[in-house]
Amino acid sequence: MLNKAQIQDLIPHRDPFLWLDEVVEVDEQKIHARKHLDPSIWVFQGHYPDFPVLPGVIQCEMCFQASAVLIAPIQPVEDGKVPVVARANKVKFRRMVRPGDTVEIYAEITDRLKDTFYLTGKIMVGDDLAMRCDFASTAAKPR
């Protein structure tokens, strides 16, 4: 299990855009992380203030960040490189994610080609699938 400080040791994301509170379980192929969505977080103030919903792109970002933690021990980010998403496919939203929800975040490596990792991610709220996607991640050097 990793706490927020340990997560920040592995990836460059920081508040207010760090979307992982803890890593529940991780091995060489998959990760299970968690985020509690406090109703007071900034995104709910403007994304339908009268009916707050977590944007789908944030749900995707949760999987992307979890994958960065998963990949970090396999391919440490060097020379100032940062983990980036190269593509996302087959994104499907099945359930709204709302303030107060605790989100279970999963990512699993399905293939690897040199420095590019192919993954499947999903977001669960309780027993309900909220989002699923396939994506690729690699490390890029900022300009």
The residues annotated as belonging to the active site are 47
C-alpha 50/C-alpha 126 separation (Å) is 24
Q: Which long-range contacts (CB under 8 A, 24 or more apart) does 77-84 make?
A: 77/12, 77/139, 78/139, 79/141, 80/141, 80/142, 81/139, 81/140, 81/141, 81/142, 82/12, 82/139, 82/140, 82/142, 83/11, 83/12, 83/137, 83/138, 83/139, 84/137, 84/138, 84/139, 84/140
Nearest by Cα to 44 from 36, 54, 34, 56: 54
* Residue 95 contacts residue 68 (beta carbons within 8 Å): no
